[in-house]
Structure 1
Amino acid sequence: MNKRIIISAAFFGALAVIFGAFGAHALKNILSPYGLEIWNKGVQYQFYHTFALLFLSTFARYRNSLINFASYCFTFGIILFSGSLYLLALREQLNLGGLASILGPITPIGGLLFILGWIGLLLAAVRDK
């Protein structure tokens, strides 16, 4: 198992639980229903890709560069995709009006990294003997 990948997954998993609880309790009365939906989408995709990182950690013993590539894609995808959704959901509360125009294009870059991570995993599985 790859220690770096497991530590990343544990960190992002803990944050996903914290952010999920924060959204369900603290933000429930602060955000609009649409803002809560955006927040929850960030939590949802963070969880999906945290589990993907855990799965990758079991294959890391093969020292496959595609596994490392996929883990970096999932890690930075979580930061860009979920992170930008969290900021977009809180843009009014944090007074980030102008920043929203920058955050909007960041979200799809994070989504692209997720896709590339899954493709990396696919290619690693195809190449495995």
Structure 2
Amino acid sequence: MTQIFLTIAAIFGGLSVAGGAFGAHALREKVSERMLEIFDTGARYQMYHALALLLVAILMSRLEIPPTTLLVSGWLFIIGVTIFSGSLYALSLTGIKSLGAIAPLGGIALMAGWGALAITAATIKF
């Protein structure tokens, strides 16, 4: 699982950089300032959680038996980024307002991922 999380973290990080560049250069003249802000929010949160997933992978590699909460945290970060950032990208590119209603579900998954990581930190022995 460590390798999967590390690989997905690297993919999320690289795609976040690409998305940020795309938003800053290709989208600037094509969408409204508000839609550009929404796209940028998706890219920023994707990068934050790529780094969080990288932390999860590093912790898993350091622990002899990783706790279930660490595994849960990693999957919640993956699900959260996919839903949260994905819905913001889709909203900003299509203008379909109903896509904005999906983003909070991804946000909940991201918050739950941080909660699971906090539980891990509070319960593991270093």
TM-score of the pair, normalised by structure 2: 0.92
Give how far 1:81 is off.
Answer: 0.3
Which secondary structure state, in structure 2, belongs to the residue aligned with residue 87 of structure 1? helix
Match of 1:60 in 2: 60
1:11-26 correspondence runs (5 A): 11-26=11-26
| Letter aligned with residue 74 of structure 2 | S
Match of 2:82 in 1: 79
1:1-129 correspondence runs (5 A): 2-61=2-61, 62=63, 63-92=66-95, 97=96, 100-101=97-98, 103-129=99-125
Give how far 1:58 is off.
Answer: 1.3
Q: Distance in 2 between matches of 1:104 and 1:53?
A: 24
Count the aligned residue pairs.
Answer: 122
Which secondary structure state, in structure 1, belongs to the residue aligned with residue 102 of structure 2? helix
| Letter aligned with residue 68 of structure 1 | L
Structure 1 unaligned segments of length 5 or more: list them.
none
Identity %: 40
| Letter aligned with residue 74 of structure 1 | F
Which secondary structure state, in structure 2, belongs to the residue aligned with residue 12 of structure 1? helix
Give how far 1:105 is off.
Answer: 2.2
Give how far 1:107 is off.
Answer: 0.2
Give how far 1:2 is off.
Answer: 1.4
Over the aligned positions, Cα root-mean-square deviation in angstroms equals: 1.3
Structure 2 unaligned segments of length 5 or more: list them.
none
TM-score of the pair, normalised by structure 1: 0.90
Give how far 1:104 is off.
Answer: 2.3
List 4+ stretches of structure 1 deviating above 4 A.
none
Which stretch shifts more, 67-76 or 55-64? 55-64
| Letter aligned with residue 59 of structure 1 | L
Give how far 1:106 is off.
Answer: 1.3
